[in-house]
Amino acid sequence: MIHRLSFAHLPTPIEELPRLSRLLGGPRLFVKRDDQTGLAFGGNKTRKLEYLLAEAQSLGADHVITAGAVQSNHCRQTAAAAARFGLKCTLILFGDPPPRPEANLWLDHLFGATIRWTERARRDQILQQTFDELQQQGEKPYLVPYGGSSPTGVLGYVFAMQEFLNQGLEADAIVFASSSGGTQAGLVLGARLFGYQGRVIGISVDEPRPNLQKRVAELANQAAERLGEKVHIRPEEIEVEDAWATAGYGVLTEAESEAIRLFARQEGLLLDPVYTGRAAAGLLALIRKGVFTSEQTVLFWHTGGTPALFASRYAESLIHS
Ligand SMILES: *Cc1c(COP(=O)(O)O)cnc(C)c1O
């Protein structure tokens, strides 16, 4: 049985990027605005949370727990959705607590989430420990996996692909940021189920290609099973570009800065420093390498994250370069 809550603003718009396309000499570029999914500054986790929170409710949960980095968009959207549906929320954040909460972290506090700090290596252990403790206290916790990337969360992007196809744009390729793999798994499975023939290219944010291919294929197959569909996707079928992941998670290099400034100055469109900035850097490099012809149409699927622009470590370097 698949449950879904409906709170995202859907369908998200598709917009053309004519000035950027012209500057690059093609292809025709479009953007799908999943930074506008409507929940607390939007982003791709909102689509996943429609299924995840429905599952939490159907299990009688009164408390959601999840984990992420200091500037996690996933944690911010989870905290907002929990507030909206009257669930308590505990976030396990890894990294060093900054001197004062900024950007996404500030919003986590505003949404009333309880925050526990840990080291990255211990995040899964602390997540489980928090779950057990809450249960012992008589609460009914629900564990939202890292990035919302469970087979249930993936369904958000299976149906996002259906939504995109209903919008009627014929795109030769879709390019986007891929990290915990749920977005790509959903898009790939949705492509298979609803008949999208173009390329689905994930720009890896932080994982070597083989790891991400394996995770995406696994998630897609598990989500297919959940839908009762006989589909088998092999890791080699998953298109991942990992040249930009080597800089490390959350590290803003000149490639991301250039992409963020270019989108801002050509189209008035905001990208984020961690995910969409890196994905756009990947897209620009593919275009400059001649991977797409000038007659082709490429969709950049914007996955959100823009509140992180206001974290001072990024904000300062973006305008001083
Ligand atoms: C989480 C996130 C991604 C990556 O999505 P996955 O489903 O984890 O691969 C991309 N962009 C933004 C802005 C995100 O917050």
Q: What is the pLDDT of residue 205?
A: 98
- Take residue 215 and report the two structure tokens written for it: 């995770």
Question: Which segments within 12-97 are labelled E, that is strand?
Answer: 14-16, 28-33, 63-69, 88-94
Q: Is 294 a catalytic residue?
A: no
- What is the arithmetic mean of pLDDT over 166-195? 98
Whole-number Å distance between alpha carbons of 78 and 91: 9
Residue 177 Cα to ligand 1 midpoint, Å, equals: 6
Express each pLDDT in 60-87 by its tens digit.
999 999 999 999 999 999 999 999 999 9
For residues 272 and 321, the model is more confident at: 272
CB distance 91 to 63 below 8 Å: no
Contact 238 CB / ligand 1 (< 6 Å): no
Tell me the three state secondary structure of residue 200: strand
Residue 138 Cα to ligand 1 midpoint, Å, equals: 33
pLDDT over 70 at 321, yes or no? no
pLDDT over 80 at 318, yes or no? yes
- Name the residue of 183, 213, 216 to mutate for ligand 1: max ligand atoms within 8 A of Cβ: 183
Cα separations in angstroms, 166 against 11, 12, 60, 66, 231: 10, 12, 34, 33, 22
Whole-number Å distance between alpha carbons of 13 and 158: 17
Residue 73 Cα to ligand 1 midpoint, Å, equals: 8
pLDDT over 90 at 295, yes or no? yes
- Name the residue of 37, 46, 52, 180 to mutate for ligand 1: max ligand atoms within 8 A of Cβ: 180
Express each pLDDT in 192-229 by its tens digit.
999 999 999 999 999 999 999 999 999 999 999 999 99
- What is the arithmetic mean of pLDDT over 92-115? 95
Percent of the chain with pLDDT over 90: 95
Contact 43 CB / ligand 1 (< 6 Å): yes
Atom of ligand 1 nearest to the CA of 202: 9
Residue 276 Cα to ligand 1 midpoint, Å, equals: 8
pLDDT averaged over every residue in the chain: 97
- What is the arithmetic mean of pLDDT over 276-292? 98
Express each pLDDT in 116-166 by its tens digit.
999 989 988 999 999 999 999 999 999 999 999 999 999 999 999 999 999
Residue 136 Cα to ligand 1 midpoint, Å, equals: 32
- What is the arithmetic mean of pLDDT over 169-179? 98
Contact 151 CB / ligand 1 (< 6 Å): no
Atom of ligand 1 nearest to the CA of 157: 7
* Options 21, 72, 149, 257, the catalytic residue: 72
Longest CA pairwise span in the chain (Å): 61
CB distance 52 to 83 below 8 Å: no
pLDDT over 70 at 268, yes or no? yes
Confidence (pTM)? 0.98
Contact 71 CB / ligand 1 (< 6 Å): no
Whole-number Å distance between alpha carbons of 42 and 280: 18
- What is the arithmetic mean of pLDDT over 300-306? 98
pLDDT over 90 at 181, yes or no? yes
Q: What is the pLDDT of residue 96?
A: 86
